[in-house]
């Protein structure tokens, strides 16, 4: 045992500590917002956060909270409580956990700080629309909806006009809620930082094109929190710059995420938060590294639509054309691009009972991937927060069988 310990230490990503500090400070800030006369907005993970930052409103992310609940294995308990309130067990477990948490101030951090307003962007799903209505009734606070019509086959001129108009509606909403004007210079500044942050996040993710990979998707799931919650701040930019340096050092020093990386895999859908450790070890034992995933890359998937010098205008397109708001064939194209870029040997799809827009269509993507690349695909049945939909023994057997096929091919 003793001689593997230093090896393990070397393996650890040092920036994780800094990241935890930043997140703690962020939550402390949010918890004490009222004392400091700051407003709090709850916002969806794919929501337009930049105007909030520019107006010094603290964004709080129930989905990030959901992930924390899942990772701390408190999901089942909170989901059951929501079911007792009448919410079906078939609903998204982030929503269930958050709805019951708001009632009882439970969960790993004793509940989120109460919102002064709610910002819901339906570019990820229709669930958030319903979930935010629930919270708007519960907290009796105003709700703004940024309605981003799904781009089945195109981003039409009609959609462009509609979403652009709503960006103006959004600013008016925020100005009314705070009684303050948005400072255009501030907005420009935040826009720059948001774009910079996203580019850096993309760079972090692509460090895994290196063989062996200096980090894995499991690390990405962890480091993602900043680009979601602190997008548009200098803090996020500084942190990711630091993280990239560390990754480059690891590449130089030949430190890999999986000690004897032999196989490279791509992950689809949300993480299984309550089984990260187990999954990570499981794949690692097969010398397989999940080098990339479709989930964390969603936060840099629409960089190409952002115009740095015209942030508010381009925001409409950038927020509408994110990964999940596209047609299934478009999503498959992006998956194929990732398979090529990261040079993977297999594709693991999490069929996530909670998330219908992410999971329906997966089978078509699977077929397209098989046909176009020939790589093996594994579909794992689970749920990101509610462990009742996950069978460890079944996953264990299926992963073994899947890795066997990959090894034979290799």
With respect to ligand SF4, which residue has the nearer C-beta, 65 or 231? 65
388 binds other proteins (CB under 8 A): no
Give me the half-sphere count of Cα atoms (radius 13 Å) on the Cβ side of residue 197.
Answer: 26
What order of strands is seen across the sheet that includes strand 40-43? Answer: 58-60, 40-43, 117-121, 143-146
Among 8, 10, 17, 137, binds other proteins (CB under 8 A): 137
What order of strands is seen across the sheet that includes strand 377-382? Answer: 288-293, 263-268, 346-352, 377-382
Among 92, 117, 237, 344, binds ligand SF4 (CB under 6 A): 92
With respect to ligand SF4, which residue has the nearer C-beta, 94 or 173? 94
With respect to ligand SF4, which residue has the nearer C-beta, 222 or 358? 358
CA atoms of 358 and 283, how far apart (whole Å): 23
* CB of 323 vs other proteins, minimal distance in Å: 14
What are the distances in angstroms from CA 360 to CA 99, 354, 406? 24, 11, 25
Residue 128 interacting entry, from ligand SF4, other proteins, none, C-beta within 5 to 8 Å by type: ligand SF4
Count of helices and strands (H, E) across the chain: 17, 8
- Interacting positions 348-407 with ligand SF4 (CB under 6 A): 354-355, 358
Site string for other proteins, 345-384 (x = CB under 8 A): ------x-x--xx-xxxxxx--x-----------------
* CB of 320 vs other proteins, minimal distance in Å: 11
Give CB contacts under 8 A, 24+ apart, made by 234-239. Answer: 234/193, 235/22, 236/193, 236/197, 236/200, 237/193, 237/196, 237/197, 237/200, 239/15, 239/18, 239/19, 239/22
42 binds ligand SF4 (CB under 6 A): no
Among 99, 124, 217, 306, binds ligand SF4 (CB under 6 A): 124
- Nearest 5 degrees, angle CA 211-CA 292-CA 150? 150
146 binds ligand SF4 (CB under 6 A): no
180 binds other proteins (CB under 8 A): no
What are the distances in angstroms from CA 161 to CA 119, 246, 258? 20, 43, 47
List of residues contacting ligand SF4 (CB under 6 A): 63, 92, 94, 124-125, 127-128, 270, 354-355, 358
List of residues contacting other proteins (CB under 8 A): 85-88, 90-92, 95, 122, 125-127, 129-131, 133-134, 136-137, 143, 145, 147, 149-150, 152-153, 156, 158-159, 161-162, 165-166, 169, 327-329, 351, 353, 356-357, 359-364, 367
């Amino acid at each position: 045992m003793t001689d593997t310990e230093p090896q393990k230490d070397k393996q650890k990503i040092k920036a994780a500590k800094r990241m935890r500090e930043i997140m703690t400070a962020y939550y402390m800030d949010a918890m004490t917002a009222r004392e400091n006369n700051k407003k709090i907005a709850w916002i969806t993970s794919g929501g337009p956060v930049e105007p909030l930052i520019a107006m010094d409103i603290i964004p709080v992310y129930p989905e990030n909270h959901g992930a924390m609940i899942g990772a701390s294995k408190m999901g089942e308990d909170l989901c059951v409580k929501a079911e007792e309130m009448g919410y079906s067990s078939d609903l998204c477990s982030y929503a269930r956990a958050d709805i019951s948490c708001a009632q009882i101030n439970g969960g790993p951090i004793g509940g989120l700080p109460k919102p002064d307003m709610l910002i819901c962007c339906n570019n990820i799903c229709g669930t958030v629309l319903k979930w935010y209505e629930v919270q708007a009734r519960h907290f009796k606070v105003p709700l703004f909806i940024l309605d981003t019509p799904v781009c089945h086959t195109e981003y039409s001129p009609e959609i462009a006009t509609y979403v652009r108009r709503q960006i103006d509606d959004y600013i008016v909403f925020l100005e009314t809620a705070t009684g303050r004007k948005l400072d255009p210079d501030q907005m420009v500044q935040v826009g720059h930082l948001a774009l910079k942050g996203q580019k850096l996040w993309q760079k972090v993710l692509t460090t895994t094109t290196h063989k062996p990979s200096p980090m894995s998707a499991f690390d990405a799931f962890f480091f993602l929190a900043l680009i979601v919650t602190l997008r548009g701040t200098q803090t996020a930019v500084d942190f990711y710059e630091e993280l990239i340096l560390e990754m480059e050092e690891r590449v130089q020093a030949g430190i890999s995420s999986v000690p004897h990386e032999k196989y490279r895999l791509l992950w689809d859908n949300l993480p299984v938060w309550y089984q990260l450790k187990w999954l990570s070890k499981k794949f690692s034992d097969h010398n397989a590294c999940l080098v990339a995933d479709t989930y964390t890359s969603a936060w840099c998937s629409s960089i190409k639509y952002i115009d740095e010098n015209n942030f508010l205008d381009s925001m409409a397109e950038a927020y509408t054309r994110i990964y999940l708001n596209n047609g299934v064939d478009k999503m498959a194209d992006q998956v194929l691009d990732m398979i090529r870029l990261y040079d993977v040997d297999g594709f693991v799809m999490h069929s996530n009972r909670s998330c219908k827009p992410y999971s329906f269509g997966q089978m078509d993507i699977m077929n397209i991937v098989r046909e176009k690349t020939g790589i093996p695909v594994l579909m794992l049945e689970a749920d990101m927060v509610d462990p009742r939909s996950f069978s460890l023994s079944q996953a264990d057997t299926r992963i073994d069988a899947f890795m066997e096929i990959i090894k034979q091919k290799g």
